[in-house]
Amino acid sequence: MKLTPEIRVLHRGPDMVGEGPIWHPERRELLWVDIPAHMLHRTPLEGGEPRSVTFDIPPAALALDMAGEVIVAAGTGWYRLDDGGGLTVLAAPPGPTGGWRMNDGCTDRDGRLWTGRIEEPRGSGVEGHLYRLDGAGATPVVGGLRTQNGLAVSLDGTTLYLSDSHPEVNVIWAFDLDRATGALSNRRVFHEPRAGRADGAAIDAEDCYWFAEIDAGRLVRLAPDGRVVATVDLPVSRPTKLTFAGPDLRTICVTSMSILPEGSDPAGEPLAGALLAFDVETAGALPTPVTVLPGQG
């Protein structure tokens, strides 16, 4: 089913690579990043000029802890954002210290933080990994990834979703997630996009998995069995990730890229890199705050 909501522009940008949107319920604002610009933005749902900070390293994924403070996966580690816009190191994963950066992330229903890494600069030869961050520190869990994306966790906390949006892979997997230990097992194909590639994702209150289908210019809603149940066409060809926002979590906010494929005409896509929003009937599922960090639990 194709949905046709009224789409509004919260921030025209343009972001080079807008990513990582999250809703802050207490502050009633949306936060997201522009990775190559090294910027974090925040704005109310009414839109307007965002408040922004710039870092020395590229931010990618965002999460909130129990106190409402912002956790940032950036560069090659995890950080806490302070009130002045500075970053305090929380942890760094084992392995190579260069040739890659953090990418997409999410929390599970037990407060662990999951984040993947991707090769950067391209051609550096560093393999992509998925990490689990908890009281035991940073643990590599899934290797062999090209362009890690699509992290989300089912409502009951027992299924973790992960995609690889590299054109030569382009698949979304599901894993069984052991809530007690954080171990993953039973990797299987959940969905294979046909029109575009599987980028960032979120779960709604009916346990459906929404993902941004980059290069297809749309969002896709999947049932828990992987069937397409709805799509939403967007006025941008490269949406990157969505989140549910607002007091009732019935507003979907979508980041996008202004960096277009070689040969594209930017004049033909004036909203590329904008932050977009539209309303839906089914609310989203509020992500669990990060509750366990290294040295805790």
Summarize the annotated binding site for substrate as residue ranges: 101, 103
Q: Which residue blocks in 119-229 are alpha helix, DSSP H?
A: none
Q: What single-letter amino acid sits at 221? A: R
Rounded CA-CA distance 52/32 in Å is 10
Peptide bond into 266 cis (omega under 30): no
**Residue 169 region, left (φ>0) first, then alpha (ψ -120 to 50), else beta?**
alpha
Annotated binding site for a divalent metal cation: 19, 149, 199
279 is catalytic: no
Rounded CA-CA distance 211/291 in Å is 25
Annotated binding site: 19, 101, 103, 149, 199
Beta strand 209-214 with 218-222 is: antiparallel
Three-class DSSP category at 99: coil
Q: Which of 104, 199, 204, 215 is labelled catalytic?
A: 199
User: Would you state the torsion angle of the CA atoms of residues 92, 109, 185, 122, taken in this order, to the nearest 10 degrees?
Assistant: -40
Catalytic residue ranges: 199
